[in-house]
Amino acid sequence: MNQDPDTSPAERAKVRVLFVAWFLRPDRKWLGEFLPPERFECSYVSLEERVDSTQKRTPGKKWRQLVQLALKARLHLARHPQDLIVTAFPQGGFTQGLVNLLSFERTPHVVWYFNCGHEYHGARKWLSRIAYRFVDRFIVYTKHERTAYARTFAVPESRFQFTYLTGVPLESEKFRGARERFGLAPRYIAALGSSGRDYTTLFKAVEGLPIQLVVVAHPHGLPGGPVPANVKVITSIPQQDYLSIIAEAELVAIPVNNQETASGQMTLIQAMSLGVPVVATRCIGTEDYVRHGENGWFVPMGDVEEWRRTLRSVLEDPESRSRTAAQALRFAQEHFTDRAGAQVLIDLAEELCPVPAQEALA
Q: How far apart are CA 137 and CA 303, in angstroms?
A: 37
Give 55's DSSP letter: S
172-335 belongs to which CATH class? Answer: alpha beta
Give the amino acid at 229: A
Instruction: Give the 3-state secondary structure of residue 342.
Output: helix
Could you list the pLDDT tens digit for every one of the 362 residues in the chain?
A: 444 555 554 555 899 999 999 999 988 899 999 999 999 999 999 998 776 665 555 667 888 999 999 999 999 999 999 999 999 999 999 999 999 999 999 999 999 999 887 778 899 999 999 999 999 999 999 998 999 999 999 999 999 999 999 988 899 999 999 999 999 999 999 999 998 999 999 999 999 999 999 999 998 889 988 899 999 999 989 999 999 999 999 999 999 998 877 888 899 999 999 999 999 999 988 999 999 999 999 999 999 999 999 999 999 999 999 999 999 999 999 999 999 999 999 999 999 987 643 344 34
Instruction: Give the 3-state secondary structure of residue 226.
Output: coil
Map out the domains of the chain as residue ranges.
9-168+337-360, 172-335
Q: Which CATH superfamily is domain 9-168+337-360 in?
A: Glycogen Phosphorylase B; (3.40.50.2000)
Q: How far apart are CA 15 and CA 35, in angstroms?
A: 10
Would the pTM count as exceeding 0.95? Answer: no
In this chain, the answer to whether the domains covering 9-168+337-360 and 172-335 adopt an identical fold is yes
Contacts of 15 (CB under 8 A, 6+ apart): 1, 39, 40, 41, 83, 84, 349, 353, 355
HSE-CB at 235 with a 13 A cutoff on CA atoms is 8
